[in-house]
Amino acid sequence: MTRPEILVTSPMHAAALGKMAETFTVHRLWEQPDPAAFLQSHGARIRGVATSTLYGRIDDALFARLPALEIVASFGVGYDNVDVAAAAARGIVVTNTPGVLDAEVADFAIGLLLATIRRLPQADRFLRAGQWPDGAFALSPTLRGRTVGILGLGGIGKQIARRLEGFDVAIAYHGRTKQAAVRYPWYASPLELAQACDTLIAIVPGGAATRHIVNAEVLAALGANGVLVNVARGSVVDEDALIAALQDRTILAAGLDVYEDEPHVPPALLDLPNAVVMPHIASASEATRSAMARLVADNLIAWFAEGRPLTAVPETPVAK
C-alpha cells in the first residue's frame, strides 16, 4: 500500500517528525528552496498537513492547492492559526493537542504571576548588575490579599485555579457560560470580572471572538494595583492600550508570554520596568513539547488507520 503523503509546514519537534516518518512520506515545506513551486508539483498528492503557529495561517488558499487534503494536525491546543470554517466547508478534519500541556502551562502561569508581582527578573538583573552592595532591592508588591480573575476557565484555566487555591487568594472567572459545577463567582463580561478583581489571568482561545477583549476599559477597571498575566494569545489584549496603562501606571504590572505580532515585541513594551516578558514558552518544556509532538503524529496515524483522529476540534467533528 502506498504511504500517505504528509506536508509539514514549519520546523517541528523531532518526536513528531520521527514518528510520522515511520508511517508516512513526509515533506518538509520549510526546507524547500521554492515552497510555491513545491506545492504546484506535489500539492495534489498531499493527504495530511502537520503545522504549528510558526507557519502563518492555514487558510482556504492553501486548501485550494491541496485538493486531496483530508486532515490538518496542528501542534498546540490553540488553533487560531487554522481557518477551521474553511476546513469544515471542504470536509477537512482539524486536530489540536489538548490536555497534554494543561499542567505545564498552568505551572508557568503561576510562575509568571509570581515573577511579575514579586519582580523576580528585575531582582535577578539588579544582583547581576552589582547593585546589591549599594543597598537592598526595592520592596515589591504582594500576591497576599489579591482577587485573581481567570479569563477562560477551561482545561488550563481550571488547573491554574487549582494551583491558586494553595496560595489562599480569592478566585473568580469569566467565560461565555456560567459553569454549574464551578463554585468560584462568575462574571458575565471581562469588564465585570476586572471590576471584581485586581489580578487578571487571560487563558482564553485567540481568534476574532476574543480579539482585544482585554482593552483600555478592562485594564482601568483592574485599578492602580492591577496585574495582568497573558498566557492566552497576543490578540486577546489590546497591546497599545496595555502599553499606555503600564506607562501611566493605570495598572501596576503585566506578565506576558504572548504578543500581537510574534516574534516581534514593541520596543515600548521592552522599555517598561513593570512588564515581565517571556518568548511564548508556557508549554515549552522538553517533556511537554514531546508529548504534544507525539499527539500530532498519533492524530495522523489514527486518521489514516481508522478514519478517527484522537483529538478533532469541535468545529470539524468526525462522525463516530
Residues that bind ligand NDP (CB under 6 A): 77-78, 98, 101, 105, 152-157, 175-177, 203-206, 209-210, 231-233, 257-258, 280, 282-283
For residue 261, what are the CA distances in angstroms to 56, 135, 235, 281?
A: 11, 39, 9, 15
Could you tell me if 109 and 160 are in contact, meaning their C-beta atoms sit under 8 angstroms apart? yes
CB of 200 to ligand NDP, least distance (A): 12
Q: Which of 31, 165, 217, 262 is catalytic?
A: 262
Q: Which is nearer to ligand NDP, 125 or 176 (CB)?
A: 176
Q: Which is nearer to ligand NDP, 2 or 177 (CB)?
A: 177
Residue type, position 297, single letter: A
- Grid coordinates representing 165? 487555591
Could you tell me if 147 and 198 are in contact, meaning their C-beta atoms sit under 8 angstroms apart? yes
CB of 281 to ligand NDP, least distance (A): 7
Q: Which of 13, 47, 119, 233 is catalytic?
A: 233
- Is residue 40 within a helix (H) or strand (E), and if so which, with residue range? helix 35-42
The answer to whether 280 is a known catalytic residue is yes
- Is residue 48 within a helix (H) or strand (E), and if so which, with residue range? strand 46-52
CB of 311 to ligand NDP, least distance (A): 11
> Phi-psi region for residue 293, left (φ > 0), alpha (ψ -120 to 50) or beta?
alpha
Q: Which is nearer to ligand NDP, 143 or 229 (CB)?
A: 229
The answer to whether 31 is a known catalytic residue is no
Q: Which is nearer to ligand NDP, 76 or 226 (CB)?
A: 76
Which residues are paired to 7 by β-bridges?
27, 49
- Grid coordinates representing 211? 480579539
Q: Which is nearer to ligand NDP, 70 or 104 (CB)?
A: 104
CB of 97 to ligand NDP, least distance (A): 9
The answer to whether 13 is a known catalytic residue is no
User: Nearest-CB residue to ligand NDP?
Assistant: 154
Could you tell me if 195 and 221 are in contact, meaning their C-beta atoms sit under 8 angstroms apart? yes
CB of 236 to ligand NDP, least distance (A): 8
Catalytic residues: 233, 262, 280
